Structure 1
Amino acid sequence: MKIYFTDFFNIETSKLAEFGAFNISLINDLPLFIDPFLLFGSKKSEYKELHENILKYLTFLKSKSETGSKSIAEIKSWYLFPEVKQNWFGYSKVGNGGSGLGKKFAKSFSSSMHIVFDDLGKEQITQSSHLEKAGLFQIGVGKDNISDFTTNLTKEFLLEYTQKFALEFIDPSLLRKINVSKVYFDYKLERWMPKEYTLPFIFNDFVILTPKDILTKDDNWINSNDLRGDFISICNSIPNDQLKHEINNYFRKALPKPPRYKKNTQKEISTAIMETINNYPEIIKYYVKLKEENKEGAKNISKQKVEEVESKFVEQILKFVDILSTKTEFYKIGKNSSYTEALKRLEYLKDVIENNDGYKLFYVKQQPIKREEDLQIIYRLTWFATEYDVNREPNNGRGPVDYSVSKGSVDKTLIEFKLASNSKLKQNLEKQVEIYEKANNTKNSIKVILYFDILEYNKVMRTLKELKIEKSPNIVLIDAGRKKSASNVK
């Protein structure tokens, strides 16, 4: 069964591990991305150089921003980049194709350079400037934009890193010389230049490897959630007593007075925080300073997050697929309708999870998964070996459904995955898939609900009875609770 880079290119996993690269899935994106702070905080000279190169490019952009208006052609050339999908990281809804850095990002970023990077190269409070600062202002630049921009600005390093591994360990028949666009920036010509590499090649495209020690999950080390969550302690860390007093005073006034015996809502607090930051942008510099002082914390937390993804989406998936292929007919189902095949495979999944230790797939550090997005990735990675087209979250007009399993344009089945803990489970069961069926022109749908204990099971059953669908054949309940002796169940 081929799921990961080492499978497709016949590489021992130990070789890739020794090289330091993540064993990516070539079936679906995994939720990881490069954190530029890990480049800044690293002791490796090549990573520090990458961070300096990012700052050099930001300096170029700022200098151009300060000269006045820029042409559309210049903005496209300097700010617009496609997603580097070949690294197979991110949050793509189908396969590994994302949207990249478009015109909205280019316009927002180019017009805000003088605000975000006002002290670029002249830092007094922080040790350095950081690309991630752009995500702390309300200018329409999010963490996905930071991730895509970072990957593009480090693409030359990633390509050379991949080529080095490929030439040493991969069969030449699986490699191809590729002229890659926008690899490095020529500061004399002021344009991005192509470069040729010998790279792993599959599915009519090349593949890029990434070192594990520059990857993270969820948020950059410098992120807006921490900025808001640590706002009070950040303000208290400011050494200038007058500035600290002014900021605290402004924040108190920005908070609306709550009704008697009640506290301000989280939304009111967040709004007041952002209003205060907009008036006192120095706060961001002191926040970044605190982050810079904890480089080891950044590296340790990111390492833990990468290990979690590796455990959940690589190691445990391999064990799960092995059980499915050796103990069930999951990958041998004959030619049926998409609905029949989907239902049969879900029955096999249910049996393995409930009776053959498959439940372990849904636990990380003894805790059950809490995100439906993780459940959906797991499903995609286990369903791959089929002649049916399985798309993750296709959006056909009314919003995304988890999966569409189809064979041609006529035979299509929609599959909705939910955790029993979902607070909107009843609403989803009642409305969601029926709406999607109309949009996708199909009458076939299956609802899969994963529960972890008796309380969640009872909640689901109450909901199903209220909706009068407790006996519906297209609702599959799966017990993923811990089993004391699942391996002995026949």
Structure 2
Amino acid sequence: MAQVSVWAGNLQVLKYYYCFPEVKQNYLGFCKKGNSGSGLGLDFGRALHSGLTEVFKNFGEEIVSKGKHIEKVCLLKEGIGRDNISDFITNLIKPYLLKYTEEFAKSYLSSTYCKIFKVDKVSFDYDRGVWLPKEYYLPAFNNDYVLLTPANLLVRDEIWINRTDMLNNFERFSIAIPDEVLRMQVNEYFIQVLGEDKPTKKNRENAATETIRRFPVLIDHYIRNQEDREKEALARSLSDVHGVKQVFIEQLLDLIDQLVSDTDFYSVKAKTSYEEAMERVLYLKHVIENCDGYRYFYDGDKPIHRESDLHIMYRLACCNTISDTNAEVNNGRGPVDFKLSQGSKDATLVEFKMARTLKRNLEKQVDVYKNANGNPPAIKAIVFFTDEEMEKVYKILNDLGLTGKPGIVVIDARKNNKIQASKA
């Protein structure tokens, strides 16, 4: 480790040992832009090096926690989130995933769909200090290999051990430390750093961070607390993965079947990108409101709760367009969900919004809709799932003077709603 500490001043060496590309062959599917990410850059490399060489010198020899958790080395660095950890873990267990996929391919797949690939950075030669490649027999797609992942390794949202959860629950797990002397020292230091009668949430997070830096063993106590609730973590992960399968595979296929059989969604012959985009949104609105299509946007009794899920569903359903369709386009005012275009002079932006983020988003774009004559350059599709959300949506539109304006489409996705709300 001392040798690596010396090397860390050299950026090229730091990149070689601590920075990894995203393993795009481990593509699990429901993203907005594709499976090629930026990977793990220098910020992550520095955080990992610092964690291993300065703060957690006993990494792998913990006494408090039951096992080893690689997430531990990234808990003190702000900005190292689930995507970084996911990329890092995938690189770390790549030999396991390669072997798992190879065994599956040999047992179940025709040789027509498989090839031998030479995969980089599979193992590390500690004597020579270099990464080594290895050949595997793997499924092939678009001249690249595919990596399979066991379902019980998947999570959807934050990993079970994460910085946000640690800071939010700092006071809960810190008062449960068995060592009475340490518990008292931690409490006194935390209060000293906090130093305010009515601290804000941010103040508490900063104080918790400083206290954990002062007493790194607190991270082991946090991890032990999470380990004691591992059954809850497994149950949540299984539920999340089942929900993804239910919504994005089974229900989305049903929605597409209904769009094919009941509407002209996939045969729009519009003259402009705006006409095509608007017709598609209106067809989707019709299916959701009048043909029980709302049910495709629920996981059991719970509506989808992330706008990104709504965007993904629209993108997967909105194929076979005349217009060129791109996701997450930045037009200079921040990224928008979709851009449909038919040449440089004909482009329409489409955004799907939920009630909880609507006001902040619309306030910045009021003039776009108020001053539009005929076809505005953007379409805002607003989806609500409850009576409370409906009231909020129409109040916001009325307050901003946008009710009935071109380009504003309100979609009622309430369950068992027989009487339709007035259309905006």
Same topology, TM > 0.5: yes
Using the TM superposition, give the Cα deviation of residue 416 of structure 1 relative to its aligned residue in structure 2, in angstroms. Answer: 1.1
Using the TM superposition, give the Cα deviation of residue 132 of structure 1 relative to its aligned residue in structure 2, in angstroms. Answer: 0.4
Change (3 A) 1:355 1:167: farther
Contact 1:109–1:141 under 8 Å retained in 2: no
Q: Which moved more, 1:411-420 or 1:248-257?
A: 248-257
Contact 2:353–2:383 under 8 Å retained in 1: yes
Whether 2:360 is the aligned partner of 1:421: answer no
Match of 1:368 in 2: 303
Match of 1:265 in 2: 200
Using the TM superposition, give the Cα deviation of residue 429 of structure 1 relative to its aligned residue in structure 2, in angstroms. Answer: 1.9
Q: Describe the SS at the equivalent of 1:402.
A: strand
Match of 1:470 among 395, 403, 424: 403
Q: Which moved more, 1:215-224 or 1:380-389?
A: 380-389
Q: Describe the SS at the equivalent of 1:87.
A: coil
Whether 2:328 is the aligned partner of 1:402: answer no
Change (3 A) 1:408 1:79: farther
Match of 2:372 in 1: none
Cα-to-partner distance string for 1:342-398 (whole Å, 9 max, x where unaligned): 111111111111112210122223122222121111111211343543322123543
Match of 1:297 among 217, 232, 236: 232
Match of 2:128 in 1: 189
Match of 2:412 among 463, 476, 479: 479
Unaligned runs of 5+ in 1: 1-61, 436-441
Using the TM superposition, give the Cα deviation of residue 226 of structure 1 relative to its aligned residue in structure 2, in angstroms. Answer: 2.3
Match of 1:97 in 2: 36
Using the TM superposition, give the Cα deviation of residue 482 of structure 1 relative to its aligned residue in structure 2, in angstroms. Answer: 0.8
Higher relative contact order (CA 8 A, sep 6+): 1
Using the TM superposition, give the Cα deviation of residue 67 of structure 1 relative to its aligned residue in structure 2, in angstroms. Answer: 5.1
Using the TM superposition, give the Cα deviation of residue 80 of structure 1 relative to its aligned residue in structure 2, in angstroms. Answer: 1.7
Matches within 5 A, 1:67-466: 69-89=8-28, 93-138=32-77, 140-258=79-197, 263-334=198-269, 336-386=271-321, 388-422=323-357, 425-432=358-365, 444-466=377-399
Using the TM superposition, give the Cα deviation of residue 328 of structure 1 relative to its aligned residue in structure 2, in angstroms. Answer: 1.7
Change (3 A) 1:468 1:68: closer
Change (3 A) 1:389 1:284: same
Using the TM superposition, give the Cα deviation of residue 120 of structure 1 relative to its aligned residue in structure 2, in angstroms. Answer: 2.0
Contact 1:359–1:480 under 8 Å retained in 2: yes
Match of 1:17 in 2: none
Using the TM superposition, give the Cα deviation of residue 426 of structure 1 relative to its aligned residue in structure 2, in angstroms. Answer: 2.9
Cα-to-partner distance string for 1:169-203 (whole Å, 9 max, x where unaligned): 44443434333322232333322222333433334
Cα-to-partner distance string for 1:85-135 (whole Å, 9 max, x where unaligned): 222248855122211011222233223322343212332222233110123
Change (3 A) 1:452 1:294: closer
CA distance in 2, matches of 1:266, 1:148: 30
CA distance in 1, matches of 2:229, 2:283: 47
Contact 2:274–2:347 under 8 Å retained in 1: yes
Change (3 A) 1:68 1:451: closer
Using the TM superposition, give the Cα deviation of residue 248 of structure 1 relative to its aligned residue in structure 2, in angstroms. Answer: 0.9
Contact 2:376–2:407 under 8 Å retained in 1: no
Q: Describe the SS at the equivalent of 1:421.
A: helix
Change (3 A) 1:325 1:184: farther
CA distance in 2, matches of 1:108, 1:171: 43
Normalised by the size of structure 1, how large is the TM-score? 0.77
Contact 1:83–1:148 under 8 Å retained in 2: yes
AA of the residue aligned to 1:412: A
Q: Which moved more, 1:64-73 or 1:269-278?
A: 64-73
CA distance in 2, matches of 1:220, 1:174: 33
Change (3 A) 1:462 1:128: closer
Using the TM superposition, give the Cα deviation of residue 400 of structure 1 relative to its aligned residue in structure 2, in angstroms. Answer: 1.2
Contact 2:328–2:336 under 8 Å retained in 1: yes
CA distance in 2, matches of 1:409, 1:177: 43
Change (3 A) 1:432 1:199: farther
AA of the residue aligned to 2:414: G
CA distance in 1, matches of 2:65, 2:269: 63
Normalised by the size of structure 2, how large is the TM-score? 0.88
Using the TM superposition, give the Cα deviation of residue 450 of structure 1 relative to its aligned residue in structure 2, in angstroms. Answer: 0.3
